[in-house]
Amino acid sequence: QTNRWALLDRVAEGVEAGAQDSGSLPAELSIQFSLRPAPCVGHALQIENYGAVQEVQPAGGVADRVDSHYPRMGMRCEYHMKPAVIYARVSSKEQADEGFSVRAQLKLLREYALEHGFELTREFGDVETAKRAGRTGFDEMVEFLRRSRNTCRTILVEKTDRLYRNLRDYVTLDELDVEIHFVKENFVLSDDSRSTEKFMHGIKVLMAKNYIDNLSEETSKGMLQKAEQGTWPSWAPLGYVNFNLGGQRVVAPDPEKAPVIQRLFEWYASGTCSLEQVRQRAIDAGLTGRRGSPPSKSTIARTLQNIFYTGHFV
């Protein structure tokens, strides 16, 4: 089977091959043909023997080819690549660490871009859980597309549920007036899409939101079951450490940090220290977060508001 990109990506093997390749180009390509008497000289091309291309030096994202159908007739083709961005998402840190899910999405989308004549200008991605709100990569992509209204108007993504988490995401992208290619679903959403196609896409958006909501419910349910069994379901609060006791994950006071946490409440309850002053005193006393960095002001605030420090396990 003749490669439909042969005219653009390799030297034509002869007049017949060049003519056949030019007829197999996809309709969506931006192609301009012009016929003129031989000898034919195209941009950065050298022609001889009725159209055999010897040298090709495309520039600026535009590839030029000249192929001779007849001994004294040539054809010029200009192919303009369309700019696009990629968005990939995984639903947990573990998936990202394994690398399979993100790499698989990026590989699929890059291959799609190559096959369909897209020039990738940026790649965006997110690693998230059902609990964590906000998506840095998604927000950066939206901002980039807003700044690039006159240049990049296309998003390549694996599936509907990789792009949207809620209806607000859908509305945000709809207002940007972009063209979205859902590669695995073999669907392109644009202003030219039919009303029935947009309706079916809206159903998929609702299904994606339902999946996220259900995942959040199941996560909360699992954490509640662990709490009822006396098992601490996540990372220990600041000033405590996780450890395994008879197969159960429990927490215990950290011998180094627990005394500083106790003093946090004393400093703040005195009414003589602001939140920032309490934070600075804690840092001076050697308090660090789970990763060894100094606690932020918001971390100190959450600690002072956490009911766990009153002895209640909620």
Residue-wise pLDDT for 23-52, tens only, equals 444 444 433 333 333 333 333 333 233 333
Q: d(Cα 214, Cα 130) in Å, to the nearest integer? A: 9
Instruction: Specify the DSSP class assigned to residue 310.
Output: G
Q: What is residue 24's predicted lDDT score, i.e. its pLDDT? A: 46
121 neighbors 152 (Cβ within 8 angstroms): yes
Q: Of 3.40.50.1390, 3.40.50.2300, 3.30.420.40, 3.40.50.150, which CATH number belongs to 82-211?
A: 3.40.50.1390
pTM of the model: 0.47
Q: Does 73 score more than 80 pLDDT? A: no
Please give the average per-residue pLDDT across 268-288, as a whole number: 92
Considering the chain, what is the average pLDDT of its residues? 73
Q: Are strands 179-182 and 154-157 parallel, antiparallel or unpaired?
A: parallel
Task: Give 146-199 pLDDT, tens digit per residue.
Answer: 999 889 999 999 998 888 877 788 888 888 889 999 999 999 998 888 888 888
Q: How is the chain split into domains, by residue range?
A: 6-80, 82-211, 240-310
Q: Reply yes or no on domain 240-310 having CATH 1.10.3470.
A: no
Q: Which residues neighbour 180 within 8 Å (Cβ) at sequence distance 6 or greater?
A: 154, 155, 157, 163, 173, 188, 189, 190
Q: Does 224 score more than 50 pLDDT? A: yes
Q: What is residue 145's predicted lDDT score, i.e. its pLDDT? A: 95
Q: d(Cα 50, Cα 76) in Å, to the nearest integer? A: 13
- Helix ranges (H only) for 55-194 are 93-98, 100-115, 136-147, 160-163, 167-176
Q: Does 300 score more than 90 pLDDT? A: yes
Q: Does 244 score more than 60 pLDDT? A: yes
